[in-house]
């Protein structure tokens, strides 16, 4: 009986998690999964991924949920802290757009 090689679906590189062998971030798959998209729908959103890769990424996320959720929270904080170009070039328009985002 041949030995089956273990596959890796997620890799850590460039200070982030990526679907192995791709330029698609784990973040992208996790956010769509959190929004209740099925793995099949995620493949439609990211046609470069196979269904196997999506299931592998979801399994990785579920197995490491606390750590990945903490990683995503830090990423969101860093993104929110970045200055937005419109914020400095046209503050009134920026504030108007932001006010429409808040329910």
CA distance 103 to 8: 41
User: Is the per-residue pLDDT at 98 higher than 90?
Assistant: no
pTM: 0.77
Mean pLDDT of 79-102: 76
- Please spell the DSSP secondary structure of 9-61, one letter per residue: -EEEETTEEEETTSS-BHHHHHHHHHTT--HHHHHHHSTTS-HHHHHHHHHHH
* Structure tokens that stand for 64 in this block: 């490491």
Q: What is the pLDDT of residue 55?
A: 98
Question: Residues 10-56: pLDDT tens digits?
Answer: 999 999 999 999 999 999 999 999 999 999 999 999 999 999 999 99
Question: Do the Cβ atoms of 33 and 61 come closer than 8 Å?
Answer: yes
């Amino acid at each position: 009986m041949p030995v089956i090689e273990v596959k890796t679906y997620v890799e850590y590189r460039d200070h982030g998690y990526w679907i192995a062998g791709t330029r698609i971030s784990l973040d992208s798959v996790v956010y769509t999964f959190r929004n209740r998209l099925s793995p099949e729908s995620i493949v439609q959103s990211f046609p470069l991924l196979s269904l196997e890769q999506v299931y592998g990424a979801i399994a990785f996320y579920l197995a490491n949920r606390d750590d990945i959720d903490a990683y995503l929270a830090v990423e969101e904080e860093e993104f929110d802290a970045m200055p937005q170009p419109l914020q400095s070039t046209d503050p009134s328009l920026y504030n108007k757009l932001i006010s429409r985002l808040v329910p």
